[in-house]
């Protein structure tokens, strides 16, 4: 274990060096730590990385180019990069029980693109791939994309709809995945909000996708990956799971059996932050049949790997292999369920009526608000959340009708079920006392809202008081 002052010394020294060059950057870094210490961070996709993980990103690995893979680089002098990349992959394979791990993706989107192209490269013939490289991507029209998809095997993707909790990278038109694939979505039951596997199977039989995608960014329940694999097999689709949000629950063995995607999927993607509590980055897991294609992620999709981030991934994955991580993962779910129960007791409307995982989705229409109004009112009150669509959202993806909240970060700080009930009270108080505002012409506004500043200040102080017993990075003092 480090000495009591080692972490403080490390970060204070780093800020001193930065301040000598650009003091405003040093000030912003210090202000960010102060803000995070004082706010109830409830964004489901955020967490707090350990000091060791953070420090692993600030070093000389940042200066290295390392295109290629371990032992097969296009640059000399990568022996130390090989060491950290191999360690990160080893930890990932052991942690998730995967045959192969590719730890180079810079983000979850990059990981998904690597997976998509690996599947395509495995399925289509080389001449068609060459045609895909004739023109610059930005010059292609919608008709060009249609023609290209047809030449590449008329590839199709079936994934969860955005308003049901899916992700932009699962084939939606604004994202490159929506250009690459002819996409169709499966939703959730309009009454329960749950995935209807019979409807998914029906859509798969009708659409015959090349790739069936499971995974989500705002679905508060487990997914049965065994059933989804059976659906994929029935139509000859490659089954891909994006577990970016719940990877920590898989690593911590909270999700096992039918709910662990790794034994069931052909290919699995994830981020390394969120519930996994590592650095911002991505990763791909797969079996041996796709390993060679996945390892071509650079230069197929990625630019040069980020060795300093791979070093941090190795540290974080090593931390996740420790026995205490399983306890952390279980507490994340326990806290999310306690938060959901606290909100329900106070009359909040939750999508699916609760949660099985790390996140809760509040339908704020019950408070007479849009998601944008609720998000900002909560932020004014020291509670950091993000607005999110709900199924069949009448307000669309910008204003939304929902607020997504999650417990990974507060659980890292040590808050438990009692504090979750107190948090539910603060959220309900703010939303219940916020009213919609009006535009200058008197028409109703979807963005403006009215909240008594005195109440916002009171709740903010209560949030700070709640957090005072659970200091963030208690070993680090910057003053």
DSSP annotation of 350 reads: B
Q: Is the pLDDT of residue 266 over 90?
A: yes
Cβ atoms within 10 A of the Cβ of 275, count?
A: 36
As a whole number of angstroms, the distance between CA 224 and CA 221 comes to 10
Mean pLDDT within 347-365: 97
pLDDT in tens, 104-143: 999 999 999 999 989 887 776 444 444 544 444 455 677 7
Q: pLDDT tier at 271 (50, 70, 90 boundaries)? A: very high
Q: Is the pLDDT of residue 89 over 50?
A: yes
Mean pLDDT within 161-170: 79
CB contact at 8 A, 366 and 373: no
pLDDT at 145: 64
pLDDT at 422: 98
* H or E element in which residue 213 lies: strand 211-215
As a whole number of angstroms, the distance between CA 371 and CA 446 comes to 9
Mean pLDDT within 443-453: 95
Mean pLDDT within 378-395: 95
pLDDT at 135: 45
**Residues with catalytic annotation?**
65, 67, 242, 271, 274, 280
pLDDT in tens, 15-36: 999 999 999 999 999 999 999 9
pLDDT in tens, 417-427: 999 999 999 99
Instruction: Dump the DSSP string for 312-341.
Output: HHHHHHHHHTSHHHHHHHHHHHHHHHHHHH
pLDDT at 385: 97
Q: pLDDT tier at 1 (50, 70, 90 boundaries)? A: low
pLDDT at 132: 47
Mean pLDDT within 161-182: 76
Query: Beta partners for 449?
Result: 436
Q: Is the pLDDT of residue 191 over 80?
A: yes
Handedness of CA 150, 155, 161, 162 (dihedral sign): negative
As a whole number of angstroms, the distance between CA 155 and CA 314 comes to 35
Please count the CA atoms within 13 angstroms of the CA of 164 that sit on its side-chain side.
20
Q: Which domains does the chain have, with CATH numbers?
A: 60-320 (3.40.640.10), 323-468 (3.90.1150.10)
pLDDT in tens, 343-352: 999 999 999 9
Q: Which phi and psi angles does 405 have, rounded to 5°? A: -130, 150
Least confident of 141-150, 163-172, 290-299, 324-333: 141-150
Higher pLDDT, 287 or 144: 287
Q: Is the pLDDT of residue 242 over 50?
A: yes
Q: Is the pLDDT of residue 311 over 80?
A: yes
The helix-helix angle for 225-234 and 197-207 (nearest 10°) equals: 20
- The contacts of residue 218 (CB under 8 Å, 6+ apart) are 44, 165, 359, 361, 388, 389, 402, 404
* H or E element in which residue 91 lies: helix 79-96
Distances (CA, A) of 333 to 89, 123, 302, 337, 358: 27, 38, 34, 6, 5
CB contact at 8 A, 114 and 300: yes
- The contacts of residue 310 (CB under 8 Å, 6+ apart) are 61, 81, 84, 85, 88, 103, 104, 281
Q: Is the pLDDT of residue 148 over 80?
A: no
Mean pLDDT computed over every residue of the chain: 91
Q: pLDDT tier at 265 (50, 70, 90 boundaries)? A: very high
CB contact at 8 A, 356 and 259: no
Mean pLDDT within 254-276: 97
Structure tokens that stand for 83 in this block:
């060491």
Query: Beta partners for 438?
Result: 444
* H or E element in which residue 54 lies: helix 51-56
């Amino acid at each position: 274990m480090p000495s009591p002052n080692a972490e403080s010394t490390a970060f204070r020294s780093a800020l001193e060096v930065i301040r000598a060059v650009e003091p405003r950057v040093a000030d912003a870094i210090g202000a960010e730590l102060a803000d995070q210490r004082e706010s109830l961070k409830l964004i489901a996709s955020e967490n707090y990385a350990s000091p060791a993980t953070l420090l692993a990103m600030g070093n000389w690995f940042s200066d290295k180019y390392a295109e290629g893979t371990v032992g097969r680089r296009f640059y000399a002098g990568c022996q130390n990069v090989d060491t950290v990349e191999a360690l990160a992959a080893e930890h990932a394979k052991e942690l998730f029980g995967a045959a192969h791990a590719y730890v180079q993706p810079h983000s979850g989107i990059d990981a998904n693109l690597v997976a998509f192209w690996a599947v395509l490269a495995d399925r289509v013939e080389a001449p068609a791939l060459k045609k895909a490289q004739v023109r610059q991507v930005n010059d292609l029209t919608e008709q060009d994309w249609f023609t290209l998809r047809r030449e590449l095997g008329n590839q199709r993707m079936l994934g969860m709809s955005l308003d049901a909790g899916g992700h932009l990278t699962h084939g939606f038109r604004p994202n490159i995945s929506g250009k690459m694939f002819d996409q169709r979505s499966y939703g959730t039951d309009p009454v329960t909000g749950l995935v209807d596997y019979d409807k998914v199977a029906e859509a798969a039989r009708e659409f015959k996708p090349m790739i069936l995608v499971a995974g989500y960014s705002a679905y508060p329940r487990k997914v049965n990956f065994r059933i989804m694999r059976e659906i994929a097999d029935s139509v000859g689709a490659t089954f891909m799971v994006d577990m970016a949000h719940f990877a920590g629950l898989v690593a911590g063995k909270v999700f096992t059996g039918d709910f662990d995607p790794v034994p069931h999927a052909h290919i699995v993607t994830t981020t390394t932050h969120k519930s996994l509590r590592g650095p911002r980055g991505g990763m791909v897991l797969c079996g041996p049949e796709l390993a060679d294609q996945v390892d071509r992620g650079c230069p197929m999709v990625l630019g040069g790997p980020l060795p300093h981030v791979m070093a941090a991934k190795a540290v974080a994955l090593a931390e996740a292999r420790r026995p205490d991580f399983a306890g952390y993962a279980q507490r994340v779910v326990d806290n999310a369920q306690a938060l959901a129960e606290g909100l329900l007791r106070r009359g909040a409307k939750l999508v699916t009526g609760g949660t099985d995982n790390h996140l809760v989705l509040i339908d704020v229409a019950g408070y007479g608000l849009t998601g944008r109004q609720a998000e900002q009112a909560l932020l004014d009150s020291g509670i950091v959340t993000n607005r999110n669509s709900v199924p069949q959202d009448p307000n669309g993806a910008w204003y939304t009708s929902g607020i997504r909240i999650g417990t990974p970060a507060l659980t890292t700080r040590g808050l438990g079920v009692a504090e979750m009930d107190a948090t539910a009270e603060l959220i309900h108080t703010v939303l219940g006392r916020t009213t919609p505002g009006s535009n200058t012409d008197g028409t109703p506004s979807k963005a403006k809202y009215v909240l008594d500043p005195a109440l916002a200040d009171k709740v903010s102080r209560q949030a700070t008081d709640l957090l005072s017993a659970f200091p963030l990075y208690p070993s680090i003092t910057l003053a």
